[in-house]
Amino acid sequence: MASLSSREIERLAIRLEPAIRRAFVQALIEVQRQAPLDLVADLLRAGQVDTVLEALGLDAARFSPLSEAIRQAFVAGADAGLGEMPPLRLSLDPIITGRYRPRSPSPALRPSFDLRNPAAEGWLRDNSSQLITGIIEDQRTLVRGALQQGMAVGRNPRQTALDLVGRVGESGRRAGGLVGLTAQQGQFVANVRAQLASGDPNQMAAYFGRKRRDKRLDGIVKRAIAAGKPVSQADIEKIAGRYADRLLALRGEMIARTESITAMNAGREESYRQQIEAGKLAPENVTCTWSATGDRQTRHSHAAMNGQRRRFGEPFVTPSGAQMNYPGDSSLGAGAEETIGCRCMKQYRIDMTAEVLRGQQVR
């Protein structure tokens, strides 16, 4: 089987993104739907940030569907890796030099994948733990920031609780809450509120520079500027809520994009590692090449790595010195600046001539 092209791998990752995005967003929708508003307000009044997270149900169990979606992407990557491998060894034809003929299939040589392999289980466990722990820690910082911001501008705890979990709209569901955003995104929403409430034409006009705003609501802000007045509180809630919803969608997109490609790359890597561990491939006969996406969104450091080759098991090295076994890999210490949103791919090439000769030596 031929190695998958970068475009084929990218298309597979894109097909995996929606399930991951839905799992993340749905978890936050359920948090908003089930939020005990009065209890959250009381806990905020008491300054009990950690207990607010417990009341909202923001724990690992809440994000188990997200872990499952990532597991499926990992398995899809492993299946793709197996599909690249030859199903049987070839031996040199003693009559026609330079050609190969297939030997009869040997079950021991057929590529297979064990999801219960300790290394596979370890990656799924560690990746899920790292991702979900990061999300929950973000929520802790977010809630603390919302509480401090609310106190600074004189918002009562119930208003802050509504800022967090969203307000019930015409659909009968809560929307526009901060829950699920990063702490930085939460600050963006707070800044929008401050701009629109300022009454300062320059600050209010700065709102129009926000790419994720709902432009259908721009007229409200323009009329307030023209009247020389701040935006009404009711309209601020509507505008800031819509902005928060769009930031949440953006975060879901980024998590889906990063996790789908990372999990798929990890699955492909594990499929090859298991064949090597089982003795079906020799690591020195597997050449790995870094393939950068090559568009405007590609990191300069990753573009510089395009074509970098390694034997299986040898890490790629970025210009900054960070090491990665495959794009998106953080197991060797590569930071978020090298992994988040990375769409590069790793290509594998098996030297079948060397594998045939190795098989003959074994016999």
Residue ranges per structural domain of the chain: 6-281, 282-363
Look at residue 92 in the predicted model and tell me its pLDDT: 43
Q: What is the CA angle 353-358-362, rounded to 5? A: 150
At position 252, the amino acid (one-letter code) is G
Could you give the CA distance from residue 244 to residue 125 in angstroms, rounded to a whole number? 31
Look at residue 136 in the predicted model and tell me its pLDDT: 93
Cα dist from 87 to 121, 312, 363, whole Å: 25, 20, 19
Show the low-confidence residues of the chain (pLDDT under 70).
1-3, 87-110, 359-363
Could you give the CA distance from residue 262 to residue 129 in angstroms, rounded to a whole number? 15
Question: CA gyration radius for the chain?
Answer: 26
Look at residue 362 in the predicted model and tell me its pLDDT: 56
Could you give the CA distance from residue 112 to residue 89 in angstroms, rounded to a whole number? 15
- Tokens 């790292």 belong to 130
